């Protein structure tokens, strides 16, 4: 792991990276510390329907969903082999069975079954609303939803906060007939409070999200979305990225995650961390599903699914960020395998590097940027909904006043970052944001230009500060499970058997091509591993 990411890990901001490929089941390990939910999941609207749901239908749908795409599911519903109501009941049944351990969901949508039945009614009359009609979707709980669901960012101070209306992306999902299952757990306030005990995924409201593959980090901050999709507790989910917040949990939980080009998805109504970086995006088990979800929530008219091709990488120049990837020697076998696949697909590989410029600054520069986002973007959102908390210092004091309830996993990230922006004005923050955005763009553009590459290849969230800050798109695809590894310090657990992802970085606006590249690689490898839940 390079020193830049080491600094972020030390601050509790980013997930720890590691590598290797394996097919063996992960070793047994003790459960992490867990906190009680501040609000239990309300099963009253669903208990009767779940009780009537035949076991044989659950088993049949389980077999279908394990490998099906949204396209496959829509075909089953169109052909009468499946209903949207049955699909919703399947996912609700799995949540009821597994989520008290996995903690991927903070709140259920009490209208989920009604929304599914409405989809079935539309299908009977031939008036479906598109590829997402009847598809169960979870939403990271920093995305605003109208009553009765709350929007909490996982924080006790927002426990009862109800947004006045849906975020635009949620309104688009509803208009396309998606069934909103509920709100997904996350790293509290998008990772700005704590990163322990498993490098992300913990909140005061819902506790610690558990990686369904075993005793491994969940990463953050879209951990509930990624773990829930991996465990088949939702068909797809909408997460959000600030710097690795969507890509890293997707890689760590063995699913596909995409950070679109900045503003490709309207971020209005998303609780901010760094408004200049924040970008909602799809999390799915397949590239096809990520493409279908992006099509439903984006702001442009592009049929991403129609553009997916198995030969998309043929003749394409690919810039390999080998030096940074191989800085961790455990990545070497994975890098060799991935490179071989890319060559077999017809790609022309070129060594590439991201060369920092003076304007990019030091490691502390980005941490200061993050601190300023907390102060000038996140806290104003909180302040508008609180009588007493107006600054990061106020939030620290508020949490400490009832630590067991408000910060069950402590608040080392917030306490560590807050002093870095103590004297920074909003104008200074904006100037820093524009400076870093331009620097990140120049660094990435330099790598593209020097290699002639149409896409860059990274691993997990290794280069997320660059593409997230520049607003470039990125997508991670499963590379299987690690066969070689080490003890993850300071957790004292092995990363052997942990999922890993290859990450493709595209040029701004090239989201459709990036999805096609990822699809070609996915179809050639098929390295996603289904977790075994007990």
Positions annotated as catalytic residues are 140, 221, 245
Chain-centre distance of CA 175, in angstroms?
23
CB 320 within 8 A of CB 351: yes
Length of the chain: 534
Distance CA 432, CA 368 (A): 9
Q: Are the C-beta atoms of residues 187 and 223 closer than 8 Å to each other?
A: yes
Which CA distances in Å does 412 have to 121, 185, 191, 241?
50, 19, 11, 21
Angle at CA 496, nearest 5°, toward 494 and 500? Answer: 115
* The two structure tokens encoding residue 277: 């970086």
- What phi, psi does 497 have (nearest 5°)? 90, 0
Residue 283 β-bridge partners? 237, 257
How many of the other CB atoms lie within 10 Å of CB of 113? Answer: 20
Residue partners of 267: CB distance under 8 A and separation at least 6: 240, 275, 278, 279, 280
Helix %, strand %, coil % for the chain, to 5? 40, 15, 45
List, in sequence order, every residue forming a beta bridge with 280; answer none if it has no partner: 240
If we measure between CA atoms, which residue out of 391, 382, 7 comes closest to residue 188? 382
Listed in sequence order, the residues at least 6 apart from 459 whose beta carbon sits closer than 8 Å to its beta carbon are 17, 19, 251, 325, 331, 334, 335, 500, 501, 502, 503
**Other CB atoms closer than 10 Å to residue 259's CB: what's the count?**
36
Spell out the alpha helix ranges (H) of 79-186. Answer: 84-102, 112-124, 168-175
Cα Rg of the chain (Å, integer): 21
Can you tell me the distance from the alpha carbon of 373 to that of 24, in angstroms, rounded to the nearest whole number?
Answer: 42
């Amino acid at each position: 792991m390079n020193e830049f990411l080491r600094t972020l890990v030390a601050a509790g901001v980013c997930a720890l990276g590691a590598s290797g490929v394996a097919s063996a089941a992960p070793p047994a390990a003790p459960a992490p510390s867990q906190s009680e939910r501040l609000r239990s999941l309300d099963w009253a609207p669903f208990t009767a329907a779940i009780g009537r749901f035949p076991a044989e239908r659950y088993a049949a749908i389980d077999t279908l969903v394990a490998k099906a795409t949204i396209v496959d599911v829509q075909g089953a519903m169109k052909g009468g082999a499946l209903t949207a109501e049955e699909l919703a009941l399947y996912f609700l049944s799995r949540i009821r069975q597994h989520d008290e351990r996995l903690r991927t969901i903070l709140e259920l949508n009490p209208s989920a079954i009604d929304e599914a039945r409405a989809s079935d009614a539309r299908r009977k009359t031939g008036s479906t609303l598109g590829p997402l009609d009847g598809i169960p979707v979870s939403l990271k709980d920093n995305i605003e939803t109208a009553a009765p669901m709350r929007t909490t960012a996982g924080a006790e101070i927002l426990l009862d906060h109800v947004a006045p209306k849906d975020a635009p992306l949620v309104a688009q999902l509803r208009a396309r007939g998606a069934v909103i299952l509920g709100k997904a757990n996350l790293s509290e306030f998008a990772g700005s409070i704590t990163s322990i005990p498993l490098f992300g995924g913990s909140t005061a409201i819902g506790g610690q999200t558990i990686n369904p593959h075993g005793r491994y980090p969940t990463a953050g901050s879209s951990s509930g979305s990624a773990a829930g999709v991996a465990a088949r507790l939702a068909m797809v989910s909408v997460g959000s990225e600030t710097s690795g917040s969507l890509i890293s949990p997707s890689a760590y939980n063995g699913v596909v995650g995409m950070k679109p080009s900045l503003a490709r998805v309207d971020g209005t109504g998303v609780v901010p961390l760094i408004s200049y970086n924040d970008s909602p995006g799809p999390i799915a088990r397949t590239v096809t599903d990520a493409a279908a979800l992006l099509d439903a929530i984006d702001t442009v008219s592009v049929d991403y699914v129609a553009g997916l091709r198995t030969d998309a990488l043929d003749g394409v120049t690919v810039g390999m960020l080998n030096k940074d990837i191989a800085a961790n020697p455990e990545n070497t076998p994975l890098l060799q395998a991935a490179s071989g696949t890319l060559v077999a697909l017809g790609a022309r590989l070129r060594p590439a590097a991201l060369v920092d410029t003076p304007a990019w600054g030091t490691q502390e520069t980005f941490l200061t940027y993050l601190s300023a986002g907390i102060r000038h973007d996140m806290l104003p959102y909180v302040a508008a909904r609180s009588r007493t908390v107006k600054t990061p210092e106020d939030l620290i004091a508020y949490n400490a006043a009832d630590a067991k309830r408000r910060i069950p996993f402590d608040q080392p990230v917030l306490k560590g970052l807050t002093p870095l922006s103590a004297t920074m004005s909003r104008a200074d923050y904006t100037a820093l944001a524009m400076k870093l955005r331009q620097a990140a763009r120049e660094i990435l553009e330099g790598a593209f230009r020097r290699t002639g590459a149409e896409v860059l290849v990274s691993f997990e969230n290794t280069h997320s500060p660059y593409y997230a800050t520049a607003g470039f798109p990125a997508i991670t695809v499963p590379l299987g499970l690690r066969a070689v590894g080490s003890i993850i310090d300071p957790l004292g657990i092995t990363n052997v058997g942990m999922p890993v992802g290859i990450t493709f970085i595209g040029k701004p606006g090239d989201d459709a091509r990036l999805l096609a590249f990822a699809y070609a690689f996915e179809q050639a490898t098929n390295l996603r591993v289904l977790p075994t839940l007990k």
